[in-house]
Amino acid sequence: MTLTATTHLNFHGEARDALAFYATAFGGRSTVTTYGDLGMPAGLPDSDKVVFGAAFAPNGFTVMAYDVPGRTEPRTPGSTRRENGTTITDEPFFLALGGASLEEVTGPWEALSDGATVIEPLAASAWSAGFGMLTDRFGVTWAVSVTPAQA
């Protein structure tokens, strides 16, 4: 079993186009899951935006991306806003950590959780046997998930 860390880019509505561009640039393919694919009613804001996407290439290139919900204005890296009592930083990327099983990612998750702010607890999600997000004590945001093997 091998853990992998992947750059996870955050966009304000451009994730689908960016993933298609990177897939072409590196000779691979992209996959996209929208908020609507996971049950958000069509026609609601963000229903057609990317909640989980990636570009893969045979040479090993991988990048992940999503559209930050509720955001349409150009991204301003490093800016912050308050939402429901939480300070949200508009960072251009996360570090995505993937493993083949929940057991494999649980140890790193627990270690990263020390002194962290948990954004979403590690648990089963609509797209993964395990997904969680936290900002570690150094300010790095990690998206940890169980990732299926790529064909």
**CA-CA distance, 74 to 13, in Å (whole number)?**
9
Would you mind telling me the total number of residues written for the chain in this entry? 151
Block residue for tokens 């990327």: 93
pLDDT tens digits for range 24-74: 988 899 999 999 999 999 989 899 999 999 999 998 889 999 998 887 776
What is the separation of C-alpha 39 from the centre of its chain, rounded to a whole number of angstroms?
A: 18
- Biggest CA-to-CA distance, the chain: 43
Q: What is the pLDDT of residues 97-116, one digit of tens each?
A: 888 999 989 998 998 898 88
Which of residues 89 and 70 earns the better pLDDT score?
Answer: 70
Phi/psi for 30 (5° steps) reads: -125, 155
pTM of the model: 0.68
C-alpha distances in Å from residue 70, one per residue of 39, 47, 50:
16, 10, 12
Domains of the chain: 4-146 (3.10.180.10)
Q: Counting Cβ atoms within 10 Å, is residue 2 exposed (0-12), middle (13-18) or buried (19+)?
A: exposed
